[in-house]
Chain A
Amino acid sequence: MSEGFEEIEHTADLAIRAYGQDMRELFTNAACGMFALMAEPSEEPAREREVSLEAMDYEGLLVDWLNELIYLHEVEGETYYQFAIETLSPTRLEAHVTGGPTKSKTKAIKAATFHDLKIEETANGSVVTIVFDV
């Protein structure tokens, strides 16, 4: 949990719980948590991508964000480790992500799902559980 995310039990698929003091940190930790399950990057050469998304609400944006990263990971053969979220409102996200060519893959994630997805506010910040189809 010190990393801002943890894997939790799900019978058929994979799920993580991500935490964040604010929404930006939550989105960053969710992405870190997902890639921790999926793959390891090579450090060199660094690869950078821009992500720009619109959705109906934070939950929709979070799912889109993770699915966009899954798409880039697959078609570009890259794994990302740094997520600079420049704009984040309930309906819009602009981010600059940094990664490297994928060194090794551990798990193919088909998609981040909306199942049971609810960003909850607690005294310590935000928390969300994300179920991935694997």
Chain B
Amino acid sequence: MINKKDLKRVEEYVYEIPRSFRDDMRVPARLYADEELLDMALKDRSVEQLVNTATLPGVVKYTLAMPDIHQGYGPPIGGVIALRTSDGVISPGAVGYDINCGVRLLRSNILAEEVKPIMDDIVQALFRGVPSGVGRGGDVKLAGRQTDEVLEKGSAWAVSQGYGTKDDLEHTEERGSMVGAEARAVSKEAKKRGQDQLGTLGSGNHFVEVGEVEAIYDQEVAEAFGLFEGQMVVWVHSGSRGLGHQVCTDYVRDLQKAVSKYGIKLPDRELVCAPFDSPEGRDYFAAMASAANYAWANRQVLAHRVRQVLDDVLAGLVKDRELTLVYDVAHNIAKVEEYAIDGKSTKLIIHRKGATRAFGPGMAVLPADYREVGQPVLIPGDMGTASYVLVGTAEAMGKTFGTSCHGAGRVLSRSAAIKKIRGQELQRELLEKGIVVRGGDWKSLAEEAPDAYKDIDRVVNVVHSTGIARKVARLLPLGVIKG
């Protein structure tokens, strides 16, 4: 068990577990948290999981956990691991099963006040029009070569089929199509699972949410992102569905052999890995990038459905019903990026597990309209409190490998949430606050209750205060469909 005394405070809201804490650590481990978030993290095994990530071969500088840290399997959720591509490893377990689980935010020229009176109709229409829930298939059926095209082209495939616009691609991380994807690296089992799930939300914490911009903290950046107070926006949170789960399952299994082949010692078998520059590592990267593309295509099709539903339900009420993509970010992914290590520009494979890329101003990979201000960092909160839009900073590039948090982070287990909270009561309570919620079943709704999550304001305060992302806007939920 790790205690507070094992951590050293290196600056306000940043704690470090020194390399000397455990013999197998190759670098220190850092945790971004305030006192209360730190206490929460120390209650379960999240910090031990963070320490485990510091043992991976080729890891540089320090491994990190964001303030929304919570216990996962392998690394903690909220974990960031940077490893040299030359002699470091890539780990499927450290990316997770929902490869490129991520979130996108759509903005409108509609005022929230205009849609609040019909929020019930909007939520019902979204629930009917967007396939969600455990194992529900969608209406896009991929046949023959189509699955391979989705895997290799991602969002671009979806746009070529009429799901969205070229402008959507500009405003998606990696333009929704990751370099290095190769469909041949994805098993036939994974492809089979992906055949009828494109454009489906899935279950768990996935959702579509209609929200309102409540407050703007940075006018200049908000303008660049097209956000204004009182504006109606829509969030879409989903991932790579069964296809991504199977890719991770396949490679966690297959790389077990690589661990002994390359003589790698691991504190947890779920951190299974292979050298990035090895046949096994290259295959996993090609498969992971393919699954990431599937996830981007999935969110692209989902956004198209949302646009169709809202266009229909708002016809006659508002004239301009266009929904424009602000941005789409991945929060479970491994990517090759370059950072200065010991004064030398070094190629690293950055694993983000429940963490968001948060690139600062001037980065060439950002869309032209955001390049001067920095990347939008989208932080969805729980369904009853608030969400944030932040902007990436130069500090993040130096301190956290251009990374920030990804959400509020769970604090209650699913079974504890079900014991404490009843789905029907929760729906009523949220309605009293003006939030219309519809889920597949009451239990799943209770599992995702606001009380099961940390305080989003507290989490965001830590990233804002440490400068690894800056607050731009706070948003409130109005209507939510949960998977």
Contacts and interface: CB of A to CB of B under 8 A. Distances in A.
A133 B96 contact: yes
A131 interface: yes
A13 B73 contact: yes
A84 interface: no
A117 interface: yes
A74 B413 contact: no
Given A55-B253, A74-B242, A108-B202, 20 more contacts: A11-B46, A12-B410, A13-B72, A14-B415, A60-B253, A63-B252, A63-B253, A71-B189, A71-B249, A105-B134, A107-B134, A107-B203, A108-B204, A111-B248, A113-B73, A115-B72, A115-B73, A115-B74, A116-B268, A133-B73
Q: Which 4 A-B pairs have the closest CB atoms?
A: A115-B73, A114-B269, A105-B134, A113-B73
A123 interface: no
Interface string B126-137: 000000011100
A88 B317 CA distance: 65
Contacts of B272: 114
A30 to B, nearest CB: 16
Given A56-B256, A59-B269, A60-B256, A71 B203 contact: no
A107 to B, nearest CB: 7
Contact of B416 (A9, A67, A70, A117): A9
A12 B68 CA distance: 12
B70 A114 contact: no
A115 B270 CA distance: 5
A37 B270 CA distance: 22
A55 B248 CA distance: 16
A70 to B, nearest CB: 8
B93 A11 contact: no
Contacts of B245: 70, 110-111, 133
Given A10-B413, A64-B253, A133-B73, A114 B189 contact: no
23 contacts: A9-B413, A11-B71, A11-B411, A11-B412, A12-B71, A12-B410, A67-B249, A74-B135, A74-B193, A75-B189, A75-B193, A105-B133, A107-B203, A108-B135, A108-B203, A110-B98, A111-B245, A114-B73, A114-B252, A114-B268, A114-B270, A131-B73, A133-B97
A134 B73 contact: no
A101 to B, nearest CB: 12
Contacts of B441: 106
B383 interface: no
Contacts of B410: 11-12
Interface of B: 44, 46, 70-74, 77, 93, 96-98, 133-135, 189, 192-193, 202-204, 242, 245-246, 248-249, 252-253, 256-257, 268-270, 272, 410-416, 441, 443-444
Given A60-B253, A114-B252, A133-B96, A11 B268 contact: no
A58 to B, nearest CB: 13
A102 to B, nearest CB: 8
A67 B252 CA distance: 11
Contacts of B96: 133
A117 B202 CA distance: 27
Interface in A1-49: 7, 9-14
Nearest to B133: A105
Nearest to B245: A110
Contacts of A56: 256-257
Contacts, number: 107
Given A114-B252, A115-B73, A106 B135 contact: no
A130 B124 CA distance: 37
Given A74-B242, A110-B245, A116-B268, A67 B253 contact: yes
A7 B415 contact: yes
B121 to A, nearest CB: 28
Interface in A82-120: 102, 105-108, 110-111, 113-117
Given A64-B253, A71-B246, A114-B272, A12 B193 contact: no
A15 to B, nearest CB: 9
Contacts of B248: 110-111
Contacts of B253: 55, 60, 63-64, 67
A123 to B, nearest CB: 26
A36 to B, nearest CB: 13
A11 B44 contact: yes
Given A56-B256, A111-B97, A12 B135 contact: no
Interface in A120-134: 131, 133-134
A134 B242 CA distance: 12
A52 to B, nearest CB: 14
Nearest to A9: B413
Interface centre among B71, B96, B412 (most CB of A within 10 A): B71
A111 B249 contact: yes
Given A12-B77, A71-B189, A108 B134 contact: yes
Nearest to A118: B269
A102 B134 CA distance: 12
Contacts of B70: 11-12
Contacts of B203: 107-108
Nearest to B414: A14
Contacts of A131: 73
Nearest to B269: A114
Nearest to A132: B73
A50 to B, nearest CB: 15
Contacts of A111: 97, 245, 248-249, 252
